[in-house]
Amino acid sequence: MHDIRTIRDNPDAFDAALRRRGADPVSAAILSLDETRRARIRDAEEAQAEQNRASKQVGAAKAKGDEAEFERLRAHVADSKAQLAAMQAEAADLDRQLRDLLMTIPNLPLAEVPDGKDDSDNVEIRRWGTPREMNFTPVEHFELPGVQPGMDFGTAAKLSGARFVVLQGAVARIHRALAQYMIDLHVDRHGLTETWAPVLVLPEMMEGTGQLPKFGEDSYQTSEGWWLIPTAEVTLTNTVNGEIVDAATLPRRMVAHSQCFRSEAGSAGRDTAGMLRQHQFEKVEMVSITAPDEGLAEHARMTGCAEAVLEGLELPFRTVVLCTGDMGFGARITHDIEVWLPGQRSYREISSVSYCGDFQARRMNARFRPEGGGKPEFLHTLNGSGLAVGRCLIAVLENGQQADGTVRLPAALHPYLGGKSVLGADGALG
């Protein structure tokens, strides 16, 4: 959410930043509503002061024994109370309207974010690894002989419908091993705090990280009112919701392995084959809570943490900075990491690492107390996949495929697989 004072001070700059994102300028509507709201607040404050004066006069008339004046003033105070209540209710309603409007406006991009309309305008900043030359035609993950016994889309469709999968046997074990490897790497090497949290959250938590009110159709809500998280970003970031934390506790770096749920409302017809885009999936999510002056350095650090997972798994990837038209709602800058998938002969997103500034903290009213004292300030928040487990499974299977239908597995996974290093064409580990 945006600071109304920033919009008041420089509405033209605010609108210009929104135009870079392809959004319509809204400062005029915001400032009009804000001025009406402030006028009603002033009216209510003046009415309150007048009522206080009249109340004192009632007491004075009573003390003097002037019964007629006492009754007149008492009736006036009673009338003014009703008027004051109406003014206060109108001011509160205008305040809600302003907040609701601000809640629907995306974050403003940093100056260094490249302008653009869609992913074709994203800018590559580095590559790691070289896609392996294969003397055969590589296939997609779900076409591999050893994968087919353990990746069952038919049974999943019977159980739940489209965009679900049942994993069994060796494939399920590799999937689990990947999540364990990621968590261990982030905890042991990167110093993140392993966290386990609910996957059902209150609506206010979804509002805090920006999924609500604008993107409710992208997630699932239960009949009891809870929302299923689309990512552990929601739970981890909201651990500071409504809090004032000590600066000495920053930065707070957390990581969680969780189930995630997305309706994929805007992806009809996209990636329907295989398990690239699912309604239910697992992800290892990183979240950092920092002081304002640490945010950009933490963004670079978090990107490196995500890249390290792919380096350890020997998977070629590239890192891009998203253009203004491709960034998520809450981000000021985002790095996407795209892993090479031989079966598709292309790089596909496996992680997004975003710096949000104080955008989410304002929605959550999450602040910190500076070490030298002074007024509490809003925290800065970051989030990033470290990584999407299912997509990482796809990448491991496709990059490790051999001409004979077997899959060679990365050395980093061998300890998690009882020393086994190959997925056989028969679907067994060896």
Catalytic residues: 262, 277, 349, 352, 391
Residue type, 33: L
On whether 377 is known to bind a ligand per the annotation, the reply is: no
- Residue 345 falls in which region: left (phi positive, over 0), alpha (psi -120 to 50) or beta: left
- Residue 119 falls in which region: left (phi positive, over 0), alpha (psi -120 to 50) or beta: alpha
Structure tokens at 62: 């009573």
On whether 71 is known to bind a ligand per the annotation, the reply is: no
On whether 383 is known to bind a ligand per the annotation, the reply is: yes
Nearest CA to 318 out of 97, 76, 130 is that of 130
On whether 219 is known to bind a ligand per the annotation, the reply is: no
**DSSP class of 429:** B
On whether 264 is known to bind a ligand per the annotation, the reply is: yes
Q: How far apart are CA 312 and CA 182, in angstroms?
A: 10
E strand residue ranges, 312-416: 317-321, 333-341, 346-355, 367-369, 377-378, 380-388, 407-408
User: Other C-beta atoms within 10 Å of 190: how many?
Assistant: 18
- Residue 144 falls in which region: left (phi positive, over 0), alpha (psi -120 to 50) or beta: beta
On whether 55 is known to bind a ligand per the annotation, the reply is: no
Tokens 């210009």, residue located: 16
Q: How far apart are CA 306 and CA 283, in angstroms?
A: 12
User: Other C-beta atoms within 10 Å of 42: how many?
Assistant: 12
Nearest CA to 285 out of 179, 384, 396, 142 is that of 384
Nearest CA to 146 out of 421, 413, 397, 414 is that of 397
Nearest CA to 344 out of 423, 273, 278, 246 is that of 273
On whether 349 is known to bind a ligand per the annotation, the reply is: yes
On whether 217 is known to bind a ligand per the annotation, the reply is: no
On whether 351 is known to bind a ligand per the annotation, the reply is: yes
On whether 80 is known to bind a ligand per the annotation, the reply is: no
On whether 268 is known to bind a ligand per the annotation, the reply is: no
- 403 close to 168: Cβ distance less than 8 angstroms: no
Annotated binding site for ATP, which residues?
262-264, 349-352
- Binding-site entries: 231-233, 262-264, 285, 349-352, 383, 385
Annotated binding site for L-serine: 231-233, 262, 285, 383, 385
